[in-house]
Structure 1
Amino acid sequence: MDHFRTNRLTAEKLRDDDLADLVALHLDAEVSRYLGGVRAPDVTQTYLAANMAHWDQHGFGLWALRTKDGEFAGRAGIRHILVDGIDEIEIAYTFKRDLWGQGLASEIAAALTHIGLSQLALPSLIGLVLVGNAASRRVLEKSNYILEKSTTHHGEDVVIYRIRR
């Protein structure tokens, strides 16, 4: 499952070549405001290494997203995350700001949900969203995720949405 396509996006397993694109994405304050804040390049490099290791350990993880013309669009994936002491599996997606409002998050959320529940046969998936991120909450709701609870994650107020197989 190194790569897949949706109607408008190509997803390829994260690799070292993606570092410059990820650094630019994580340095955008608007993009990063719901991701825990702007990340310095060395922090993004550590993030990339950790997410590549996730692939090696679990056989799935984050993909780099590109538009039909090959332009870097963002990142998305399925990954393990510790929430309230429980090992959960979340879908995650982040797009460059100039691509917001085009329905790409809904498109990728549907694809990730299908991969997670059907192809990987995971029992459930979560979406972990900062309380104030209304756009991402709508994406999950449109993808049939159900609001499960509110909690705190890394000192931030978040909500957890879940979908089950």
Structure 2
Amino acid sequence: MVERIALETPRLRLRHWHDDDLESLARLCADPEVMRYYPALMSRDDCAALMVRSRLHFVRHGVGLWALERKDSDAFIGYCGLASCALPMPSPTVELLWAVTCDQWGQGLVHEAANAVLQCAFDTLGLDEVVACAAQLNEPARQLLEGLGMRPEQATAFGHPDLVPEHPLHPQLLYRLQRDDWRQ
């Protein structure tokens, strides 16, 4: 078994899931504003499955999706972390994922959490690359990813596999960040 990693930033704990996080996660993933760039809202059962998949990913790989908790209030505010990329890629790749409650937007918390995740990916785990996907019309995610140093590959724009081509979220961009670029 791989050692499970927990992370901290000045304002956040990126911690392992507690069973009582399920209700908060279900509220987060049922919020239409939070999920506006996702193909669909997630049910409570979907959220339970997400927690199980993340726990298994931690057991197998040492990383997964961490629950985000504010240090000043111990409040669960979302998640951020790495998951095996579902896209067909030439080699196994991990993808940066996140979601945060609306009342926490605009405070730089996702950027702070994602920076900690990327540092762990490159410096602790020795990964060569991390990817992220964003709908072309998801300007907040695109700004976040570019602020982290990730760059879109226009040549690898693709359609979301779960959406029909006419859906506004179908056009997606693939972002990449190489370890050497992170260090710069």
Name the TM-score class by shorter chain: over 0.9
- Structure having the higher strand fraction is 1
Equivalent of 2:121 in 105, 112, 116: 116
SS at match of 1:14: coil
Tell me if the contact between 1:109 and 1:139 (Cα under 8 Å) persists in the aligned partners. no
47-56 or 20-29, which deviates more = 47-56
Equivalent of 2:31 in 19, 28, 34: 28
Tell me if the contact between 2:33 and 2:102 (Cα under 8 Å) persists in the aligned partners. yes
Aligned-residue sequence identity (percent) comes to 29
Q: CA deviation at 1:2?
A: 3.1
Q: CA deviation at 1:84?
A: 3.1
Q: CA deviation at 1:157?
A: 2.1
SS at match of 1:111: helix
What RMSD over aligned residues (CA atoms) do the two structures have, in Å?
Answer: 1.5
Tell me if the contact between 1:126 and 1:160 (Cα under 8 Å) persists in the aligned partners. yes
Q: CA deviation at 1:15?
A: 3.6
Equivalent of 1:153 in 154, 160, 163: 160
Partner amino acid for 1:132? Answer: L
Higher Cα radius of gyration: 2
Matches within 5 A, 1:81-100: 81-84=85-88, 86=90, 87-100=92-105
Aligned counterparts of 1:9 and 1:35: Cα–Cα separation in 2: 24
Equivalent of 1:80 in 78, 84, 108: 84
- Structure having the higher helix fraction is 1
Equivalent of 2:110 in 105, 114, 123: 105
Aligned counterparts of 2:150 and 2:78: Cα–Cα separation in 1: 22
Give deviations 1:63-100, integer Å, cap 9, x for gaps. Answer: 10011210111101011112135542111111100011
Equivalent of 2:176 in 157, 162, 165: 162
Tell me if the contact between 2:84 and 2:95 (Cα under 8 Å) persists in the aligned partners. yes
Unmatched tracts of structure 1, length 5 or more: none
Aligned counterparts of 1:85 and 1:11: Cα–Cα separation in 2: 28
Equivalent of 1:56 in 59, 69, 86: 59
SS at match of 2:20: helix
Aligned residues: 165
Q: CA deviation at 1:162?
A: 0.5
2:141 aligned residue:
136
Unmatched tracts of structure 2, length 5 or more: 164-169, 180-184
Give deviations 1:39-72, integer Å, cap 9, x for gaps. Answer: 1111211222122111122221011001121011
Aligned counterparts of 2:47 and 2:148: Cα–Cα separation in 1: 29
